[in-house]
Structure 1
Amino acid sequence: MLERPTRIRLTGTDEALALHRRINRTADAYPRDASVPALFAESVARAPDAPAVAQGGRTYTYRELDLLSNGLARRLLAEGFAPGAAVGVCVARSPELIVTLLAVLKCGGVYLPFDAGWPDERLRTLFTDADCRWVLTDRHDLLSRRLDHCQVLSVEAELTPYAFAPAIQVTGDQLAYINFTSGSTGRPKGVPIRHRGIARLVLGARFAPLDAHSRLLQLAPVTFDAATFEIWGALLNGGTCVLYPEGLVRLSRLGRFLHEHGVTVVFLTTALFNAVIDEAPDALAGTRTVLMGGELHSMPHVAAALRAYGPGRLVHVYGPTEATTFATHHPVDHLDEGSGLLPIGRPIQNTRLYVVDGDTLCEPGRTGEIWLAGDGLSPGYLGDPRLTADRFVERVIDGTAERLYRTGDHGSLLPDGSLVFQGREDDQVKINGFRVELGEVAHHLDRHPGVRRSHVTVSTARGEKALVAFVVTDDPAVTPLALRHHLRTRLPAYLVPARIHLCEALPLTATGKVDGRALLTAYDSHTPPPATPAAPRPVGSRD
């Protein structure tokens, strides 16, 4: 008889074990088996006439949002939709978008947000990996031609209120949505998230006040997992989801918009947060809680914000898509500017974190990989069992078996248990909130017949973070413009480098790796700025 393999145990010093025990006391009671539609129904029952969604002069109450989503869900089922399947969603930021997401979940579906601006090749990959054959959109004519293998339904034509939701049982363990992130092999990675992960994120939140009086700004594209917090953080707590009316954030009017709509909670990517602090710091003056994160922080900007707004307002957050948006939080009430460190904090509710070096838990000050556990974890990557097995692992910690996600991020714990980010182990970066695998961009560059070799890196010249590519070619027809066109037919706009340099060779370091720093020094420091403004690309903008 074969014996079951022994599970790997994570060990550590008494100090390391004690510290991890202390920071991981995060268990809070919440309805972990309830679905998003069931939790939303509770909000409807508590205050049916309260404002649920607002955009400009349009407001839907909880009752109206409930009835309209019932009608769209029933229409989808009448067309032959089978519960459990994926539904592509391409709807502009609007009350209709929220109706659509709710409708998909009410009929037992899994919403797959996508952008109509993405190339056909990428859409085919996403829809194949998710086995997605249904689409709900407000761009029916365009997408019905491009997605002829799907049944494409117009949201605008299907919005009819209905008194009763479909009689379909949905549990907290079922999938709610799929986000696709950049992949180093050239293929995007599908990350499914359960209803339970959403509930764990927004119910009993430790990082922001979320209740019936909360008004959350909905600014992120729904393809970006920050939208999960912005939408369901409002609707599952009886608050109001305030939809920003435009794709491009205008700093000159952001403050007026937040004031007019009484917004209390805002999440901003680091780049947009920095731009606001530089150009329009008064825009956030009336906001109760400002969450920021997604990229390495700028201590001068954080210090300026703390001086402007005072303690109790700023919260630094961190979390990968695989752990449902946020995993840690750090209230920024004071700064140790001498250290240059801004912690990403401690785990949020029903989330656990471990700093691991090999099979050992790290004591304070020792750098290791950040591993996460808890109800926010994704089941794994769609159609990629090898990558799932590599990144999602089981270990025994302090006598308890844990399923963990290996983030690839490095960090260290301070003596008080706060986590400090120390960089990544691979070439994955975040630019303006979007997670980017440099290898994915290089993969598609190298597929061009005229490219011998390429290297993709990140420049911080002129105070912005931007993708920069260096290409070796013998073909005189290969130009930066031609390469940019090649990439735009295969990748979303945010993965197309801002600058592409042609060079005779790629210099190497002593260890045989491409010397990216030498390339940036030689080529990027004297490169004139792009023709378009080089300000950070705000969340929600489109190229």
Structure 2
Amino acid sequence: MDKIALSDEALAVHEKINRTDADYPAESLKELFEAAAGRRPDAVAVVHQDRKVTYRELNGLANGLAARLRAAGVKPGQVVGMCVKRSPEMLAAMLAVIKCGAAYLPFDRKWPDDRLGGIFGQADCTTLLTDAPDQMGTRFPQAQVISADPAGLDTSAPDPELRVAQDSVVYIVFTSGSTGSPKGVPIRHEGIVRLVFNSRFVRLDENAVVPQLAAVAFDAAEFEIWGTLLHGGTCVLYPSDYVRLSELKRIVQDNGVTAVFVTTALFNVIVDEAPAVFDGVQTILTGGEAHSLRHIEKGRTYYGDGRVVSVYGPTECSVFATYYPVVDSVLGESALPIGLPIQNTSLYVVQDGVLCAPGEPGEVCLAGPGLSPGYLGMPELTEKKYVEYDIDGEKVRLYHTGDRAFVREDGNVVFQGRLDDQVKVNGFRIELGEIAHHLNQAPGVKQAFVTVAEKDDGEKVVVAFVVPAGEDFTPKACTDHLATKVPGYMLPGEIHVRESFPLTGSGKVDKRALLAQRHAEA
């Protein structure tokens, strides 16, 4: 076990920010949901379009489906692939898997067969629970396919007597891998419980009403779902595959939404085009990418101090790890801080085995019960990314995020981009995040995205994509603005104008789609 070197100053600031201990239940999601259903059987658990499902009804559906899974041979510790369209039956399917002591692996039916086959192989997943059993059975004849259709279920079945350990795996999410092969990240029940109980960043209780917007294969969905269902609150399922602001506004107003999570890209669109969508919402959580200070300030000015909360966290730390309520103007800052660790989470900034003092840049490392046990079938990568250290005599397991940051004197952590976002162009090392930051503040720019592409001759070029704020926008004005902020070698070699940015299923800017558009224009 390596020992991390530290100064008194570095230790003091980290001890200050890592006082995050808070009580949370010792039970699994199974026991906590069943307890909520027992306390509030007639409360509305789920809203989907014009349909309202009570806790009694949802628990009955889940129990009946769990009995179907057990009859098919599903055992504790097994991984069950889950593909059900967003509906109360989707939530019942997740609960049914949990009630068997198994883990669910959410996937999208639109993913290619090769990718899905590889994911199922990595996760040792041989059973699929789906609302399209014929289609899935044809695509994956070697799998056991179980229908999620509620027809024929015994919804009066009691809760299974099985008790699920809190340290067992509840779900698996696959993230993109730098090698081109997706990485399976198993998350324990405890990781989610620690996220949604005694929360520092949002109020979650039986009065919580949260819309479920994220694709279920994106880990933000876990916050939206369990943040309500474990407390006896209401989860409002967004009825469409793609968010329309008019529809989102209606859902927020009709259901009395108390908290919402939106990706950075969607937040920017909302504050630019229709900030009234979130009128009345107590807490607006946003994250997923580095924030535009202009959009954050616009949101703070409209909604008021403290209602916009930036959240940060890799999948490997059970959804969120830090939070930053925006209570003052952020204009003039170098970047929006990612803030302080949430409850029962610790953060350390480390550089070359040394704990960083305030102002010293290093890598963000996370600790606590939210950490995944490691990557599926990737022991070498797990050993590299999850490392035990001695920090001032205490044994701490740290996850190396690959994100750069520094701790301010007040304890707030400021994100500085990815370690692997540092690219080399014409011999110069360039931080793409720095260029994007200044470009987002350029006159006439509504949104900007910066990446690197290869030219025909194999040389790399910095490429910027811009959504203009008005008709008077010109790429030259952008370049002139950037020339006053960054060295000449950091200026984009190309600036492409777009009406909007394509988004991935997880709500982030789709870099591949933008580069494909660039290639088509060539």
Normalized against structure 1, the TM-score is what?
0.82
The corresponding residue for 2:83 is 90
- 3-state SS of the aligned residue for 1:344? strand
- 3-state SS of the aligned residue for 2:60? helix
Alignment of 1:525 with 2:498, yes or no, is no
Residue 289 of structure 1 and its aligned partner are, at CA, apart by 0.6
The corresponding residue for 2:92 is 99
- 3-state SS of the aligned residue for 2:337? coil
Alignment of 1:359 with 2:353, yes or no, is yes
The corresponding residue for 1:81 is 74
Cα distance in 2 between the residues matched to 1:243 and 1:540:
16
State the AA in 1 paired with 2:64. Answer: G
User: Do 2:311 and 2:322's aligned partners in 1 also have CA atoms closer than 8 Å?
Assistant: yes
The corresponding residue for 2:516 is none
The corresponding residue for 2:403 is 409
User: Do 1:367 and 1:412's aligned partners in 2 also have CA atoms closer than 8 Å?
Assistant: yes
The corresponding residue for 1:197 is 191
Residue 278 of structure 1 and its aligned partner are, at CA, apart by 0.7
Pairing of 1:157-168 with structure 2 (within 5 A): 157=151, 159-168=153-162
Pairing of 1:362-381 with structure 2 (within 5 A): 362-381=356-375
The corresponding residue for 1:265 is 259
The corresponding residue for 2:224 is 230
- Which digits, 9 at most, give the CA deviation of each residue in 1:207-235, with x for residues without a partner? 00000001011000010000010000001
Cα distance in 2 between the residues matched to 1:127 and 1:353:
33
The corresponding residue for 2:107 is 114
The corresponding residue for 2:457 is 505
From 122, 125, 142, give the equivalent of 1:149. Answer: 142
Alignment of 1:213 with 2:214, yes or no, is no
Cα distance in 2 between the residues matched to 1:123 and 1:145:
14
Alignment of 1:400 with 2:366, yes or no, is no
- Which digits, 9 at most, give the CA deviation of each residue in 1:307-351, with x for residues without a partner? 111113111110000000000011111124122332111111100
From 29, 32, 36, give the equivalent of 1:39. Answer: 32
Higher relative contact order (CA 8 A, sep 6+): 1
User: Do 2:296 and 2:330's aligned partners in 1 also have CA atoms closer than 8 Å?
Assistant: no
- 3-state SS of the aligned residue for 1:257? helix
User: Do 2:359 and 2:407's aligned partners in 1 also have CA atoms closer than 8 Å?
Assistant: yes
State the AA in 2 paired with 1:307. Answer: T
In structure 2, the CA distance between the partners of 1:243 and 1:59, relative to structure 1 (3 Å rule), is same
Alignment of 1:326 with 2:320, yes or no, is yes
Cα distance in 1 between the residues matched to 2:244 and 2:253:
14
Residue 10 of structure 1 and its aligned partner are, at CA, apart by 1.3
Residue 30 of structure 1 and its aligned partner are, at CA, apart by 1.4
Residue 525 of structure 1 and its aligned partner are, at CA, apart by 2.5
From 333, 339, 347, give the equivalent of 1:339. Answer: 333
User: Do 1:219 and 1:540's aligned partners in 2 also have CA atoms closer than 8 Å?
Assistant: no
Residue 45 of structure 1 and its aligned partner are, at CA, apart by 1.8
User: Do 1:342 and 1:420's aligned partners in 2 also have CA atoms closer than 8 Å?
Assistant: yes
- Which digits, 9 at most, give the CA deviation of each residue in 1:76-116, with x for residues without a partner? 01011222111111111111110000000000111000001
Cα distance in 2 between the residues matched to 1:467 and 1:424:
13
Alignment of 1:55 with 2:7, yes or no, is no
Cα distance in 2 between the residues matched to 1:282 and 1:264:
14
Residue 151 of structure 1 and its aligned partner are, at CA, apart by 1.0
In structure 2, the CA distance between the partners of 1:464 and 1:428, relative to structure 1 (3 Å rule), is farther
- 3-state SS of the aligned residue for 1:426? helix
Cα distance in 1 between the residues matched to 2:403 and 2:153:
44
- Which digits, 9 at most, give the CA deviation of each residue in 1:197-254, with x for residues without a partner? 0101111111000000010110000100000100000011111111111111001232
From 115, 126, 130, give the equivalent of 2:119. Answer: 126
- Which digits, 9 at most, give the CA deviation of each residue in 1:27-49, with x for residues without a partner? 112123x1100011111121111
User: Do 2:260 and 2:284's aligned partners in 1 also have CA atoms closer than 8 Å?
Assistant: yes
In structure 2, the CA distance between the partners of 1:158 and 1:342, relative to structure 1 (3 Å rule), is farther
249-258 or 214-223: bigger deviation: 249-258
Cα distance in 2 between the residues matched to 1:127 and 1:360:
40
In structure 2, the CA distance between the partners of 1:520 and 1:186, relative to structure 1 (3 Å rule), is farther
State the AA in 1 paired with 2:366. Answer: L
- 3-state SS of the aligned residue for 2:338? coil
Cα distance in 2 between the residues matched to 1:231 and 1:310:
26
- Which digits, 9 at most, give the CA deviation of each residue in 1:489-528, with x for residues without a partner? xxxxxxxxxxxxxx43122xxxxxx444589944x425x7
State the AA in 2 paired with 1:534. Answer: S
The corresponding residue for 2:301 is 307
From 169, 172, 175, give the equivalent of 1:181. Answer: 175
User: Do 1:247 and 1:540's aligned partners in 2 also have CA atoms closer than 8 Å?
Assistant: no
User: Do 2:293 and 2:330's aligned partners in 1 also have CA atoms closer than 8 Å?
Assistant: no
Cα distance in 1 between the residues matched to 2:13 and 2:449:
37
Count of aligned pairs: 467
Residue 537 of structure 1 and its aligned partner are, at CA, apart by 2.8
- 3-state SS of the aligned residue for 1:222? coil
Alignment of 1:289 with 2:283, yes or no, is yes
User: Do 2:31 and 2:163's aligned partners in 1 also have CA atoms closer than 8 Å?
Assistant: no
Pairing of 1:408-447 with structure 2 (within 5 A): 408-427=402-421
- 3-state SS of the aligned residue for 2:366? strand
In structure 2, the CA distance between the partners of 1:158 and 1:405, relative to structure 1 (3 Å rule), is farther
Cα distance in 2 between the residues matched to 1:192 and 1:169:
20
- 3-state SS of the aligned residue for 1:132? coil
- Structure 2: state its 5+ residue gaps: 424-431, 440-444, 464-488, 514-522
User: Do 1:249 and 1:538's aligned partners in 2 also have CA atoms closer than 8 Å?
Assistant: no
339-348 or 215-224: bigger deviation: 339-348
State the AA in 1 paired with 2:86. Answer: R
In structure 2, the CA distance between the partners of 1:422 and 1:60, relative to structure 1 (3 Å rule), is same
User: Do 1:354 and 1:372's aligned partners in 2 also have CA atoms closer than 8 Å?
Assistant: yes
- 3-state SS of the aligned residue for 1:364? coil
- 3-state SS of the aligned residue for 1:63? helix
